[in-house]
Every structure is written in C-alpha cells, then in structure tokens.
Structure 1
Amino acid sequence: MDKEQKEKKHSRFSRKKKAALLQKEDITIVDTKVAKKAVVATGMGNAMEWFDFGIYSYLAATIGKIFFPEFTGPTQLVFSFATFAIAFLVRPIGGMFFGMLGDRLGRKKILAITLVMMAFATLCIGLIPSYHSIGITAPILLLVARLIQGFSTGGEYSGAMTFIAESTPDKKRGIMSSGLEVGTLVGYIFGSGIVTLLTFILGSDSMLSWGWRIPFLIAAPIGLIGLYLRNNLEESPAFEAMEKEKENENRHVSMKDILVYHRKPLLVGMILVFFYNIVDYTVLSYMPSHLNAVLNYGETKGLLLILIVMFIMIPIVLIMGYFGDRIGSKRIIQGGLIGLILLSFPSFLMIGSGNNWLVFFGLMILAVFLASFQGTMPSLLPSLFFTDVRYGALAITYNISASIFGGTAPLVIAWFISLTSSNFIPAYYLILSSLIGIGVVTFLVKDPSGKPLRGSAPAVEEKQEIKEILEDPEEALWWTEEKKRIDNKINEQYD
C-alpha cells in the first residue's frame, strides 16, 4: 500500500471515528427567539457598565467638587479620575473570581450576581453624602463603591460574551454577539446624554447641589429590569451539554490548569484585547478630551460630534457582525487593522483641521474601524477557549489586558503629547497597536466563523442543517485533536 492510499485510509478512519462521536441528538437546535432574548438581557449589563462610565466621565468635575473640595483646579480633577481609574485595578481579580465560578455554577447565575452588584454600587454613589457633610468618609465610600463596580465588571463582560456565544446558532454567532457592543454604545450615549440634558435643564448650580445624583439613582430601575430579564433566561446550551458529560467526574478545572494548559490562547487573547481596547478607549474615551484640551475645539461641539458618531456606529457594528458570519470575523478584523495602519494619520490630519465636516469625517473613519472590532470580537474571543474553561480563561485574558492597556490608553496618549507636543501621538499609538495586532491575527488566530465553539457540538437554527453536518463530522468536530492533546497532558499530570 503506497503512502497516498495509507493517507486516504487514515482519513476515512478518522471521519468514521468522529462520526461515531457525533450523533444527531448531540446537535443543538437553537430557538432564535430565546437567543435574541439572551442578547438583550446580557447587553443590558454591558449598557449599565458604560452608562456608569459615561455619567462618571461627564460628571468628573462635579464629583471632584463634591468629594474633594480641599483641592482645586486640575488637582481636584486628578483625584476624581484617580477614583474612577482605581476600579481597573480590581477588574482582573473580579474576573478570576467570577470566571471560575461561572465555569462551575453556570453562566446565568453569575451574570445575575454581577449585574446586581454593578447596579447597587452605582446607586450607592448617588446616595453618598458630600465631603462637607461627613468629611473624609465621603471619598472613602466613593472609593469602596468604585471598587465594587470594578470587581463586578471583571466578571460581567467576559461572562456576557461567553453566554451569548454559547446561546446562538454557529452561523449567526457574529451578528448576535455584536449586540453586546451595541449595548456599549447605547449605555454610553444614554449616560452622557442624560448628564448633558440635566445640565441644560437644571443649570450648573442645581447640578452641583443635587442634580448630579439623578443619573446614579437611575441605576436602580435599570438594574431591576436587567435582573428580571436575566432571571428569565435559560442556561446556555453549551454549558448544559458540558455538565451532562461531566456528571460522573469529580475534578473541576483549576486556575493552574488554565494557566498551564491553555497558555497559547490566553496570550493570543490578551493581544487581541490589547489592540481592541486601545482603539476602543482612544476613540470613545480619549477623543472628547483631545478635541477640547489639545485642539481647543469647542467643548459642546466636540461632545455633540462624539455622540453623533456613536449613534451612527450602532448599525455599522451590526453590519460588521453580519458580514463576519458571511466572510469570516478574521477577515473583518484584518481589514480594520490595515485600515487603521493606513488611515490613522490622515484621520488625525482631518480632526486637527478645525473644520467641522473634516473633524466629523476623521472621527467617522476611526469609528468604522473600531466598529469592525466591536462587531466581531464578542464572537471571536470566546471561541479561543474550550467550554470547560471558557468563562474563567476569557475573564483572565480580557480583564488583565483591558486593565493594563485599555484603561491606561488615555493617560499614555496624554503623557506622550505633553512630552513631545505632537498632536499625532494618538495616530502613532493606533498604528503601533495595529501592526502588532495584524501579525497575531494573521498567523495565530484560526477563524471560527460558522463553526462550533471549541469543546461544543454544532448549534443550528434549522433541523435541515443537521443532515449536512453529519455528512462531514470532521469539520463539525474540528477541535477534537486539540482537546485530546490538552486532556492527555492533564491526565499525565494527575496520574
């Protein structure tokens, strides 16, 4: 028997073996209505996170006056933003804690807990007495509330990505997961918009006296609505299927297992989150300050332009998710990275022109490339990990990278501008992160679009899809060999 015949025989044997592993009843038929409900309920938590981000950012100066009156001017603002930034320090801890629990107890339970904690902490900020009333206790309570927010956020976003990815059909995972980032935009728009509206209606004096509390108090009803929606969700099909398989096993995956046996996807995920968060925080968080403080563009005009850009981004994010399902998330992300490498500098030339239309078009170019990541990353990142470690591993990956690179992006850019006096530092930072990203995405990321998640059987929308899948079980169980290698290493360790 020649080499070619042996390879064909081995291939037939491999397909038969995998076909035996994949049965008709293993394939999940996803109810699209239930999946859409999951998107809305999980997107609510993400919207709350960015609602808080928006109101705190827009009220930073007011919060400084309320809680740090002993300081004045820029120093007061620094203390206000430092209290905001402190939440990033505990995000990785919260991610590890809730991530490991999510892989043991289920995604649904943990997502309900993190939402309640976020809503409670945000509500408490609106109830804390001022420094003039209780002295140093006021900023201490503010700090505690921010730490609770950061701790809960650590488990919120990674859990939301995991839950949506596991609750949607494989061929629609991109478009449905992109709904999570729509929540990001809606939350930020709602938060910043309500502060702007209240300031216009009440005036500066009333906002400083009591009006600033209103946006934080709104967190309570939002949290109750979100909790109701999440409590009425079903557990993700992928997690339930995994639990049935593990009924006879006593050993749970440990943190050590994740760090030792899943090193490569952890590192790849951190680099994906690295460039994703740098672009995200630069465009949505840093640009208002760049327009106002660096370019001396009118504050009201700058904030209005950013809000308009975010409104326009909502359908673009969904379109990116849709095409990610059609041509592959990897290609969409590569296109966004190449676009940033080529057009970041021209975009900042337009933004620095002072012409309203050119500033708008410059912002929109950056926003479109950001949308290419927002529409695809929520489906790509969960696909890096197997079901039994997905929540915990993704929480570690996302929160460590987001805390180091995302939360610090505005600070790093502002610092380098102060050192160099160059208004193009943001463009250079975007180009550098994109160059690193394009290499990792091209050579180390396998496109998961339309395929089952690692460790999971296929999830389909229609029954007629099952026959097609059973004809090519090797494609459906593409992750089998990778899983076998990991299990062998773990078994060698525990034998």
Structure 2
Amino acid sequence: MTVLMPPEEPEDWQVDDVVVTEPPVIRRAIGAAAIGNITEWYDFGVYAYFEPTIKKVFFTGLGDTAGTVATFGLFAVAFLVRPFGGMFFGPLADRIGRNTVLATTMILMALGTFAIGCIPSHDSIGVWAPLLLLVARLVQGFSTGGEYGNAMTFIAEYAPDRRRGFLGSWLEFGTFTGYLMGAIVVTVADGVLSTHQLLTWGWRIPFFVALPLGIVGVYLRMRLADTPAFERLEEESAERERSTGGEFREILGLWRFLLVCMGLVLVWNVTNYMLTSYMPTYVTDTLPSAQGGGVSSTTSQVIQIVVMVVALLLIPLIGLLSDRVGRKPIAWVGAIGLVVLAFPMILLIRAQTEVGIFGGLLVMGLLLICFSATMPSTLPTLFPTEVRSGGLSISFNISVSLFAGTTSVVVGALVGATGDLDWPAYYLIIAGVIGIVSLVFLHEPNGRRMWGSPPAAGSQVEAQEIVDELDAA
C-alpha cells in the first residue's frame, strides 16, 4: 500500500523565508480558536445531559422509545446541514481570511443555542415547539460546518512546525472544556431544582449562557485580526481570491486525501459522540429499562464529569508527546484499542456499578483522546494552503454528518429495534477498523512544514536550525 504524501517542493530555503510567529500571537490564536469549540460543545453537553428533560418539554405524548429517538433525531439533524456550512464557509475562508469567517460562525452558533432557550414548550404551542427547535438546530449545524475546520486551519497555520501537535491539542482542550461546562451546569440544575421547576423554566438557563460565551468569543477573534501575523494571512487570502474559481475542482482532484481525512474524522468522532452524546442516555435510561437496576442520574453525570476531567488534563500532554514520537503511533493506539477493547468497555458499563461504569467510560475516553490530541495537527496537513480550509471543512463535515454525528440516533434505534445492548461495541469496532485502514495511507506529518506553506518556527534560532536541517536533507 502506498502512503499518501504531499508532492515534494524542493526549494533553497533561507532563514528569512521561515515564518517566525511570536509566542503571544500564538497564545491569542489558540484562545480565539478554542472559544468557538467551548461554545459548540457546551451546547452539545447541555443537550445530551438534558435529553430526558428535552424529551418531556418538546415531545409530550410520545412513548419513551419514540421520544428518545425523536430527541436524538433533532440532535442528529443539525449534522445534515453541516456539509453545506463547510462548503460555504470553508472556501470563503480561503478567499477572505480565516478570522472573519470564524467570527461569523461564532455569532451564529451562540444565537442558535440562545434561541433554543427561548422556544415555548409543546404544551404551549403544540407542534410548533419541535419545529422551532429544528430550525435552531439547523442554524447551529450550518454554523458549526464552518467552525471546526477553519479553527483547525487557523491554529495549524500559526503553529511552529515542531510544536504543532501540542498547540493543536488545545483546540480539543476547548472542546472538552465546553462539554464539561454543559455537563456541570445541567448537573447543578438537576440537583438544585425540582422536576416542576426544571420542566417549566430551569432547562432554559443553560442555553441562555451561550450568548455571553459567544460575545466573548467574537471579542477575542476580532482582537486577533489586528495582529501583524493575521494581517499577513489576510493579504495572502486576498491574493488567492483571484484564482479560486476552480477551488471545488481542485479539492475533488485531491480525492484520495479527502478519503483519508474522512476515515480519520469518522473513527475520531464516532468515539466522541458515543461517549459524550449516547452514553449518558445508555447508562441512565437504556440499560435500566432493559436490565433493571442501574445508578442514579446524578451518579452517572458525576462519573462522566470525572472522565472528562481526566481527558481534559491529558490532552495537552499527549499533544506534547506527539511532537516527540509522531502523530501516527498515538492514533494507532486509539484505532486498535477500539477494536480490541470495545466489548470489554461496554460489558463493564453494562454491569451497572459505579466502578464498572467509570472503568468502561474511562477506557473509552482514553482511546478518544488518542485522536483528540493528534487530529487537529494532522488533518490540516492533508491539504495545500490555497484550499486547506475548504478541503478540510468539506471532508470533515461530510464524514461527521453521514457517519459520526448520527451515532446517537443510529445506535439508539438499533438497540431499540434488536434489543441487543452490545450495539455500541459493534459500532466502535467498525469505526476502529476504518481508522486502521485510514492510518495505513496517512503520511507522518510530525515536524514537517505544511503543504504549500513555508517552514514555521517559534524563534529566529529555531528558524536557523530548520534551514540547516533542510539544507542537509
């Protein structure tokens, strides 16, 4: 099998050709990009943990199974429009600059989440309630389609070649931070408010919090636009704008790289949504209904929060490790681990003890961060600079939309239709196999300059070292 490599571009590099990015600019770029992920995953955390409450508010009258599928269906429907958001915002960012697009998607995401908290219940306006929820989810999905691919591109293009793994991992640090915030807010609301208070007004509060988060995110991103480094990026984007009429044709010409990207996104995000979106319902609803017993909702939430905290703390460390040993060895651990450990972790969770649930979810979380810590610095290297945002956004969102974001509704429906509680394990094994195949074709990006971009360093000393290495190669 042939590993896919970007075409060689031999050049006589000089120190002045190396892009040197100052550490304060890098820190601001990371913060500006990560805040979008915090907002996005804050919403997902709130929605996943509030699934039983949302089911009662918006799907009054439906049975338990039908209500669960309908609730997860509205969660999944946002993913149907993500490819359209990627196709719109990705190429747009290649033309007018990353930061303008990221500020726009930030605003849309925050407004979509805030709008959910404003929707009247099914008891108040009938079928209009789930329809309005659908509209809000579609707005979120469209904006998210332009958010994550551009955020990955944004950080990857700022990061020095030798530190891209560590710096890129902070994007997923934002993801887990947002999810934790959502989980904690819901857990507190469940513990403090009565059932009546929760169903009448309490469930709205977590969604309202998204608006100030969005305002902070837009402020950080607009501040970054004033930096000299980003002004240079905007100038390059303006020059590319004159020759991007055939961008979609150029992206399609990279179909092999698109497929590798989609495969890696699939294994990463199936694991992600299995843990963060389906497992809360699987533990507190599906297993007790099928087997009896189980742990309380609060206990389940606390266990998942602890698992997320562990993952949160480890992500930057694994990102740092990937700058030393490479991205592929760590991703191999994740993909092979899913195939080998899928059944053991699900069997632990099915035991319905605190220790068993924690052990199963922790194994799943550790396998997840093998991808979360490495993919933000890996996927942008699959595409050249002039179409990087477009190629990454399109392939990322098609994969998430078709295969990963639908994990909750598909696995929930399969469990409900067959009665087989091991479907989460089957699904993870399939994802792991696809990840293994994709990794076979992936070239190791660690320490390499970005395709179509000059070498990048964090200091003039490092720039000289890079030039010396290139001359000796």
TM score, norm. by length of structure 2? 0.90
Select 2:429's aligned residue among 414, 428, 431. Answer: 431
Q: Compute the displacement of 1:439 (Å).
A: 2.5
Q: Distance in 2 between matches of 1:245 and 1:24?
A: 23
Select 1:203's aligned residue among 174, 194, 203. Answer: 194
Alignment check: 8 A CA contact 1:166 1:239 kept: no
Assess, with a 3 A threshold, how the Cα gap between structure 1 residues 212 and 418 changes in structure 2: closer, same or farther. closer
Cα distance per residue 1:236-261 (max 9 Å; x no partner): 95994694497498321534323432
Alignment check: 8 A CA contact 2:94 2:237 kept: no
Q: Compute the displacement of 1:230 (Å).
A: 0.7
- The match for 1:18 is 11
Assess, with a 3 A threshold, how the Cα gap between structure 1 residues 33 and 413 changes in structure 2: closer, same or farther. same
- The match for 1:481 is none
- The match for 2:109 is 118
Assess, with a 3 A threshold, how the Cα gap between structure 1 residues 184 and 248 changes in structure 2: closer, same or farther. closer
Alignment check: 8 A CA contact 1:258 1:393 kept: no
Paired amino acid for 2:174: G
Q: Compute the displacement of 1:452 (Å).
A: 1.1
- The match for 1:468 is 465
Q: Distance in 2 between matches of 1:171 and 1:412?
A: 40
Q: Compute the displacement of 1:78 (Å).
A: 3.5
Q: Distance in 2 between matches of 1:58 and 1:401?
A: 24
Paired amino acid for 2:457: V
Paired amino acid for 2:95: R
Assess, with a 3 A threshold, how the Cα gap between structure 1 residues 246 and 62 changes in structure 2: closer, same or farther. closer
Q: Compute the displacement of 1:426 (Å).
A: 2.0
Q: Distance in 2 between matches of 1:236 and 1:63?
A: 46
- The match for 2:301 is 303
Alignment check: 8 A CA contact 1:88 1:407 kept: yes
Q: Distance in 2 between matches of 1:399 and 1:41?
A: 21
Assess, with a 3 A threshold, how the Cα gap between structure 1 residues 239 and 388 changes in structure 2: closer, same or farther. farther
- The match for 2:248 is 256
Assess, with a 3 A threshold, how the Cα gap between structure 1 residues 349 and 110 changes in structure 2: closer, same or farther. same
- The match for 2:260 is 268
Q: Tell me whether 1:313 sits opposite 2:306 in the alignment.
A: no
- SS of equivalent to 2:244: coil
Cα distance per residue 1:178-199 (max 9 Å; x no partner): 1111111111111121122122
Assess, with a 3 A threshold, how the Cα gap between structure 1 residues 385 and 72 changes in structure 2: closer, same or farther. same
Assess, with a 3 A threshold, how the Cα gap between structure 1 residues 236 and 69 changes in structure 2: closer, same or farther. farther
- SS of equivalent to 2:81: helix
Alignment check: 8 A CA contact 2:161 2:456 kept: yes
- The match for 1:374 is 372
Radius of gyration: which is bigger? 1
Alignment check: 8 A CA contact 2:96 2:238 kept: no
- The match for 1:88 is 79
Tell me which moved more, 96-105 or 133-142. Answer: 133-142
Structure 2 portions without partners, runs of 5+: 1-7, 289-293
Assess, with a 3 A threshold, how the Cα gap between structure 1 residues 236 and 285 changes in structure 2: closer, same or farther. farther
TM score, norm. by length of structure 1? 0.86
Alignment check: 8 A CA contact 1:163 1:236 kept: no
Q: Distance in 2 between matches of 1:441 and 1:348?
A: 25
- The match for 2:3 is none
- The match for 2:454 is 457
Select 1:280's aligned residue among 236, 250, 272. Answer: 272
Q: How does 1:315-354 map to 2 (within 5 A)?
A: 315-354=313-352
- SS of equivalent to 1:295: helix
- The match for 1:391 is 389
Q: Compute the displacement of 1:324 (Å).
A: 0.7
Q: Distance in 1 between matches of 2:385 and 2:205?
A: 41
Assess, with a 3 A threshold, how the Cα gap between structure 1 residues 128 and 439 changes in structure 2: closer, same or farther. closer
Cα distance per residue 1:194-253 (max 9 Å; x no partner): 122122222111121111111111111111111111111147959946944974983215
- The match for 1:5 is none
Q: Distance in 1 between matches of 2:129 and 2:233?
A: 48
Tell me which moved more, 342-351 or 149-158. Answer: 342-351
Assess, with a 3 A threshold, how the Cα gap between structure 1 residues 428 and 215 changes in structure 2: closer, same or farther. same
Structure 1 portions without partners, runs of 5+: 1-13, 477-495
- SS of equivalent to 1:448: coil
Alignment check: 8 A CA contact 2:187 2:301 kept: no
Q: Distance in 1 between matches of 2:243 and 2:335?
A: 41
Alignment check: 8 A CA contact 2:119 2:129 kept: yes
- SS of equivalent to 1:86: helix
- The match for 1:413 is 411
- The match for 2:5 is none
Q: Compute the displacement of 1:279 (Å).
A: 1.2
Assess, with a 3 A threshold, how the Cα gap between structure 1 residues 368 and 136 changes in structure 2: closer, same or farther. closer
What's the C-alpha RMSD, in Å, of the aligned pairs?
2.5
- The match for 2:354 is 356
- The match for 2:291 is none
Tell me which moved more, 396-405 or 59-68. Answer: 59-68
Q: How does 1:438-449 map to 2 (within 5 A)?
A: 438-442=436-440, 444-449=441-446
Paired amino acid for 1:191: G
- The match for 1:51 is 42
Paired amino acid for 1:129: P
Q: How does 1:71-82 map to 2 (within 5 A)?
A: 71=62, 73-82=64-73
Q: Distance in 2 between matches of 1:412 and 1:123?
A: 27
Q: How does 1:84-233 map to 2 (within 5 A)?
A: 84-233=75-224
Paired amino acid for 1:278: V
Cα distance per residue 1:99-146 (max 9 Å; x no partner): 011100000000000000111111122122334444444333222211
Q: Compute the displacement of 1:320 (Å).
A: 1.2
Assess, with a 3 A threshold, how the Cα gap between structure 1 residues 458 and 51 changes in structure 2: closer, same or farther. same
Tell me which moved more, 78-87 or 315-324. Answer: 78-87
Q: Compute the displacement of 1:289 (Å).
A: 2.2
Tell me which moved more, 451-460 or 407-416. Answer: 407-416
Identity %, equivalent residues:
42
Alignment check: 8 A CA contact 2:49 2:280 kept: no
Q: Distance in 2 between matches of 1:232 and 1:242?
A: 14
Q: How many residues align?
A: 459
- SS of equivalent to 2:390: helix
Assess, with a 3 A threshold, how the Cα gap between structure 1 residues 182 and 244 changes in structure 2: closer, same or farther. closer
Alignment check: 8 A CA contact 2:166 2:322 kept: yes
Cα distance per residue 1:375-410 (max 9 Å; x no partner): 001110111111110111111111000011112222
Alignment check: 8 A CA contact 2:456 2:463 kept: no
Paired amino acid for 1:201: V
Assess, with a 3 A threshold, how the Cα gap between structure 1 residues 196 and 97 changes in structure 2: closer, same or farther. same
Q: Distance in 1 between matches of 2:353 and 2:255?
A: 48
Tell me which moved more, 382-391 or 348-357. Answer: 348-357
Assess, with a 3 A threshold, how the Cα gap between structure 1 residues 62 and 286 changes in structure 2: closer, same or farther. closer
Q: Compute the displacement of 1:420 (Å).
A: 4.8
